[in-house]
């Protein structure tokens, strides 16, 4: 009787504000999930169901024809491999450069630290523009090469600021003790700083990986060879019917099938990031909070 009365009391003690918060959060979750669920449902629905407009959250007349078509399209898998390669190389290079720059510029003893940091921050607000950047990439011999997709954007200023702020928060006594024991700056960075910085490294790595995975604009400008197309650029060509334009003359059923194929391609392009994110979520939240303690 006592436990039941406590439960009733707890239920009655829920404030209207809490109910309102949960209601709003539920609505926001539904709004965020609906587009993705709708895309999945379209990709798994039959042509007749898509034509009738019945597809919303769940597939109607379940079928896997669109995904079978993707499996038989070699261009999609080539684009997938290119995107994975660019994402891995870009994330690795971005992390290495960001760690070295942020660690060095977080030290007060570095001469010209404020001037160098100011020059880096300047590029966050002002850039050379598309045409000068394109000319630089072309003159450096990176046009129509995969290096053009991750070398010009190797370091994000925002990621640099977050990581530098995190390094500033580390106790100086740890490095001073290591210096007294004869450790060099590289040894301190490798054996002390980096093990303590796993949350922020995972966070910045996720930022870089998502950015490279979703990017299509640089590939659109710098890449001409179809065998070097990234997945997002290949999806863009599908969405604009560059590759399925001939299917439109085969009848309305082919057009609907093309629509299902587009949705299936979107799902295939999204799933890898959805798989990676849960593994990094705990580091992601912790890293953002630690890196944002001070400005």
Per-residue model confidence as pLDDT tens for the chain (295 residues):
445 555 555 555 677 778 888 899 899 988 888 888 888 888 888 777 777 777 887 888 888 888 888 777 778 888 889 999 999 999 999 999 999 999 989 888 888 888 998 898 898 888 878 889 999 999 999 999 999 999 998 999 999 998 998 888 888 888 888 888 888 888 888 888 888 888 888 889 988 998 999 888 999 999 998 889 998 888 777 766 544 454 444 444 444 456 777 788 888 888 887 787 777 666 665 555 554 444 4
- What pLDDT is attached to residue 16? 78
Calpha distance 181→81 (Å, rounded): 46
Residues 156, 158, 161, 166, CA torsion sign: negative
The CB density around residue 97, as the number of other CB atoms within 10 Å, is 15
* 27, two tokens: 């609505």
* Spatial contact of 180 and 122, defined as CB atoms under 8 Å apart: no
- What pLDDT is attached to residue 247? 46
* 185, two tokens: 């700056």
* 172, two tokens: 């100086």
* Spatial contact of 47 and 263, defined as CB atoms under 8 Å apart: no
Calpha distance 66→77 (Å, rounded): 15
- What pLDDT is attached to residue 11? 52
Show Cβ contacts of residue 213 under 8 Å, excluding neighbours closer than 6 positions: 83, 87, 231, 232, 272, 273
* Spatial contact of 57 and 37, defined as CB atoms under 8 Å apart: yes
* Spatial contact of 156 and 94, defined as CB atoms under 8 Å apart: yes
Calpha distance 60→54 (Å, rounded): 7
- What pLDDT is attached to residue 44? 85
Calpha distance 32→220 (Å, rounded): 28
Calpha distance 284→208 (Å, rounded): 12
């Amino acid at each position: 009787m006592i436990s039941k009365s406590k439960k009733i009391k707890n239920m009655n003690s829920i404030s209207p504000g809490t109910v309102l918060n949960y209601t709003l959060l539920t609505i926001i979750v539904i709004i965020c999930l609906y587009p993705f669920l709708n895309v999945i449902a379209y990709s798994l629905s039959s042509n007749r169901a898509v034509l009738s407009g019945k597809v919303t959250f769940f597939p109607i007349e379940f079928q896997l024809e669109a995904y079978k078509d993707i499996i038989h399209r070699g261009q999609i898998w080539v684009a997938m491999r290119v995107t994975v390669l660019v994402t891995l190389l870009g994330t690795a290079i971005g992390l290495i450069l960001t760690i070295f720059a942020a660690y060095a510029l977080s030290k007060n003893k570095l001469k010209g630290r404020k001037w160098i940091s100011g020059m880096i921050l300047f590029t966050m607000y002002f850039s050379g523009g598309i045409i000068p950047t394109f000319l630089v990439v072309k003159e450096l011999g990176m046009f129509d090469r995969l290096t053009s997709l991750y070398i010009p954007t190797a370091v994000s200023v925002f990621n640099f600021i977050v990581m530098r702020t995190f390094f500033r928060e580390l106790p100086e006594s740890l490095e001073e003790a290591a210096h007294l024991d004869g450790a060099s700056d590289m040894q301190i960075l490798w054996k002390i700083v980096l093990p303590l910085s796993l949350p922020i490294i995972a966070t910045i790595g996720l930022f870089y990986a998502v950015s490279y995975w979703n990017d299509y604009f640089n590939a659109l400008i710098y890449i001409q060879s179809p065998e070097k197309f990234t997945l997002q650029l290949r999806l863009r060509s599908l969405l604009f019917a560059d590759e399925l334009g001939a299917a439109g003359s085969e009848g309305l059923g082919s057009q609907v099938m093309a629509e299902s194929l587009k949705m299936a391609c979107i799902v295939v392009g999204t799933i890898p990031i959805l798989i990676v994110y849960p593994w990094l979520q705990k580091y992601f939240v912790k890293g953002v909070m630690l890196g944002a303690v001070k400005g």
